[in-house]
Amino acid sequence: MPAPEQPVAATPAEQLIVRVRVYLAEERGLAPSTVQSDLHVARLFLATRPQVAGLGLDKLTAADVVGFVLAECRSRSAASAGYVPTGLRAFLRFCFLDGLTPTPLAGAVPSPARRRPGLPEALEPAEVAALLSSCDAESTFGRRDLAVLTVLVRLGLRAGEVAALRLGDVDWRAGELLVRGKGPKLARLPLPVDVGRAIAGWLAGGRPACEAREVFTRVRAPHRGLSSAGVSAIVLAACKRAGVPEAHAHRLRHTAATQMLRAGAGLVEIGQVLRHESVLTTSIYAQPRKLHRTRAKAQVGWS
C-alpha cells in the first residue's frame, strides 16, 4: 500500500505548529508525549491570536501572555493547570529564537500556585516480599510478572522504561542494563544477580517466540511489547493477590530509593541510579519525615 500523504499546513497557525514540532522533537530532543502536550498548549494560544500572516506575534505583550494563562487555568484542575505554563514557555522560547517576538516573553509566564505533593509512602520489606511471592514462578504469567516487579523494585525504573527495554539492552557478559530514559537519554545500570535471574527465567521459560524486540511482551496473542499501562497493571494485580494496599509502578521507584537510603547510600548515589539530572531532585528523599522513619527502621532487613 502507498504511504499516506501528509496533510499540508494551510493556515499560518498550522504552518507555525509544524516548525515548532521540529524544534521540540529534533533540537530539544523532547519525548513524543511532551511534544504533543506542548503543541496542544501552543494551538490553544494561537487560537487567541488574529489569524493573519505573522499572527500578530511581533506585537505580543507580557499582559497577553499572563491573560491567556489565567483564563486557561481557571477552568482546569490543579494538576492539569501545570501543563499550560510549561507548554507556553516552550512555545515562546521558540518564537524568540525564530525572531517572531522581539523580546523573550517566556519569563512572563506565571505559574499556578499549588503545593507540591509529598512522596508516596514506600512499601515495607514485608510488603515487597509479598508482592514477589504472589507471582507463580512455574507459570508463564508468573515468570513475566516476577521479572517486571523485580526490575521495578530493585532498579527503580519507571513503568515506561521497563516497557522500553529491548533484548539487546541486556548485556549479560558485562552485567549491565541499558535504560532508555526520558527523550533520547540513555544510561547503563549494573544488573543485580536477582534481577538477571528473574529476566532470564522469563526469557528462557515464558516469553513467546515472536518478532517483538521488547523484553516484556504480552503472553497472549498478539505478542507485542507491553505498554506503560501494562506494566502498571502488573503491579496493581500483584497488590491485589498479595493483599497489599493498591500501589502503582512509580511507588516501587520510591521504594527502591528509600531502600538505598536505609542501606546507607548517599543522595548522589541514589540520584545516579534513578538518573536524576540534579541532586536537588534527589534531595526530596532527605526530608525530615522520611529521614526519621528511615532511621527508625534501619535495622529492618530487605528480602
Q: pLDDT by residue (tens digit) across 75-109? A: 777 667 778 898 999 999 999 998 998 889 888 88
Cβ density class 155-189: b for 16+ within 10 Å, e for less: bbbbbbbbbbbeeebbeeeeeebebbbeeeeeeeb
- Among this protein's residues, is 285 annotated catalytic? yes
The pLDDT of 201-216, averaged and rounded, is 92
Annotated active-site residue in 143, 144, 207, 253 = 253
Residue-level pLDDT at 213: 93
Between 283 and 271, residue with greater pLDDT: 271
The answer to whether 253 is a known catalytic residue is yes
Give the residue range(s) of CATH 1.10.150 domains in the chain. 12-108
Where residue 162 falls among pLDDT bands split at 50, 70, 90?
very high
Catalytic residue among 21, 223, 241, 276: 276
Q: Are the beta carbons of 23 and 30 closer than 8 angstroms? A: no
Active site residue 83: no
37-75 residue pLDDT tens: 999 999 999 888 876 666 788 888 899 899 988 888 887
Q: Using the predicted structure, report yes or no on whether residue 270 has a pLDDT greater than 50.
A: yes
Q: Residue 116: its pLDDT value, please?
A: 52
Percent of the chain predicted with pLDDT > 90:
40
Is the pLDDT at 192 greater than 60, yes or no? yes
**CATH number 1.10.10 is the correct assignment for the domain at 12-108:** no
| Residue 290 pLDDT class (50, 70, 90 cuts) | very low
| Catalytic hit among 89, 93, 251, 285 | 285
**Candidates 21, 43, 182, 218; catalytic one:** 182
Q: Is the pLDDT of residue 141 over 90?
A: yes
Adjacent-strand bridge partners of 189: 177
Q: Cα–Cα distance between 163 and 147 in angstroms, integer?
A: 12
Q: Which of 93, 158, 262, 290 is catalytic?
A: 158
Dihedral, CA of residue 47, residue 50, residue 55 and residue 56, to nearest 10: -130
Every domain of the chain with CATH number 1.10.443.10 lies at 125-296
Q: Is 59 a catalytic residue?
A: no
Q: What is the DSSP string of the chain?
A: -PPPPPPPP-SHHHHHHHHHHHIIIIIS---HHHHHHHHHHHHHHHTTS-SSTTTTGGG--HHHHHHHHHHHHTTS-HHHHTHHHHHHHHHHHHHHHTTSSSS--GGG------PPPPPPPPPPHHHHHHHHHTS-TTSHHHHHHHHHHHHHHHH---HHHHHH-BGGGEETTTTEEEEE-STT-EEEEE--HHHHHHHHHHHHHT----S--BSSB-SSSS-PBPPHHHHHHHHHHHHHHHTPPP--HHHHHHHHHHHHHHTT--HHHHHHHHT-SSHHHHGGGGSHHHHHHHHHTTT----
pLDDT value, residue 128? 92
User: Are the CB atoms for 235 and 149 separated by under 8 Å?
Assistant: yes
- Residue 287: the pLDDT is 56
Name the residue among 188, 131, 180, 145 with its Cα closest to residue 160.
180
Query: Per-residue DSSP letters for 197-236?
Result: HHHHHHHHHT----S--BSSB-SSSS-PBPPHHHHHHHHH
Instruction: HSE, CB side, 13 Å, CA atoms: give it for residue 192.
Output: 12
The single residue of 28, 223, 241, 250 carrying the catalytic annotation is 250
Q: What is the Cα–Cα distance from 18 to 123, expressed in whole angstroms?
A: 45
Region 125-296: CATH code: 1.10.443.10
